Amino acid sequence: MAAEPDTRGSTSRIGAMCRKAARSPFLQFLVLGGLIFLGAHVVDGWRDRRATKIVVDRNAVHRIAALYQAQNGAPPSPAQLDHLIDAYIHDEILFREAKRMNLDDGDEIVRRRLIQKIEFLTARADPSSAPTEEALRHYYDSHKDRFTRPARVDFTHLFFSPDEAGQAAAETRARQALARLQADPAMVDRLGDPFPLQSTFVGMTKTDAVQLFGDASIVDGLFKSPVGTWSGPFRSGYGWHLIRVTASEPAKARPFEDVRSDVAAALSAEMQDRAAADAFEAMKARYKIVRPVKP
């Protein structure tokens, strides 16, 4: 009678071989690599499906309608809304195709737009950190120069043009005219050259004067000359001038109550700047910066 094969021994040997293979680093590497490949394939498939699926949900429709109403002053009709949704889908397809083709890489306009967007997002101050009344008053006291009504002058002037004989001749004529005015103020109507603008100005600040005459000696002359007498000559971007200040109002700090909204706006802007700077430093800490070596 033939002996039955020892299947238990064969099973034991196969099991031992499997356990030995399972402990093999090479096999473990193959299995791990296969799992990673499979996982990447699943993730890529999920991303592809997501990238090619455009969902126009209720929130998207609401945004589309709200934007139309903001631009046109009335909500869209059903037919207009359908057209707007079609336009949204059209643009979204083109946008995704452009992203898929990496058309945004190296595009300076896209780069600048993204930078502006993240700057806007990081600069927004937390509403819970709105400045207190105490903080507003402290800011006002520390920056009173920003909330001061600037000095102003009313004046009339005589102009002496350098166009025909040059700057030196124009200055000489201005000095001669000043001597004649000091001797006889009634001669004012017979002196000077035509000026492109008016001869009398009211409520002019230093900023106004620089914008009109340029950064020239006449600007300081307007705010340092005595009231009621002719002074000069002073040079401007046009030529030479004699001036007569008729009224002068010194700089004056405005009361806190009058400028509270300006103080709040200035402090809020400064807080946003600080928040943006802090956010940037936090982002910068995640990067290793390699600068070019200076020669």
Q: Tens of pLDDT along 96-143?
A: 888 888 888 888 998 899 888 888 877 665 555 678 899 999 999 999
Mean pLDDT on 245-257:
92
Percentage of the chain beyond pLDDT 70 is 80
For the segment 272-291, what is each residue's pLDDT rounded down to a tens digit?
888 888 888 888 888 888 87
In this prediction, residue 48 carries a pLDDT of 52
Whether residue 179 contacts residue 232, with contact meaning beta carbons closer than 8 Å, is answered with no
Q: At what angle do helices 108-123 and 256-284 cross, to 10 degrees?
A: 120
CA triple 198-199-203, angle to 5 deg: 85
pLDDT higher than 60, residue 214: yes
In this prediction, residue 46 carries a pLDDT of 47
In this prediction, residue 291 carries a pLDDT of 79
Could you tell me the pLDDT band of residue 192, with boundaries at 50, 70 and 90?
A: very high
> What is the chain's length?
295
Q: DSSP E strands: which ranges in the chain?
A: 148-149, 152-160, 200-204, 230-235, 240-249, 252-253
Query: Cis peptide leading into 233, omega within 30 of 0?
Result: yes
Q: At what angle do helices 25-51 and 7-22 cross, to 10 degrees?
A: 70
For the segment 5-44, what is each residue's pLDDT rounded down to a tens digit?
555 555 666 556 556 555 666 555 666 666 676 665 555 5
The pair of three-digit structure tokens given for residue 117, joined into one six-digit string = 């967007």
How far is residue 195's CA from residue 157's CA, in Å, rounded to a whole number?
10
In this prediction, residue 103 carries a pLDDT of 85
Q: Which long-range contacts (CB under 8 A, 24 or more apart) does 35-39 make?
A: none
pLDDT higher than 90, residue 226: yes
Q: Count Cβ neighbours within 10 Å for each residue of 61-78 and write b for 16 or more, e otherwise.
A: eeebbeebeeeeeeebee
What CATH number matches the domain at 151-250, 3.10.50.40, 3.40.50.720, 3.90.330.10, 3.40.50.1000?
3.10.50.40
Mean pLDDT on 190-218:
93
For the segment 134-174, what is each residue's pLDDT rounded down to a tens digit?
999 999 999 988 898 999 999 999 999 999 889 999 999 99
Q: Where are the domains of the chain?
A: 30-103, 106-125+132-143+254-282, 151-250
Could you tell me the pLDDT band of residue 263, with boundaries at 50, 70 and 90?
A: very high
pLDDT: which is higher, 243 or 36: 243
Mean pLDDT, the chain, integer: 84
pLDDT: which is higher, 227 or 92: 227
The neighbour count for residue 2, using CB atoms within 10 Å, is: 4
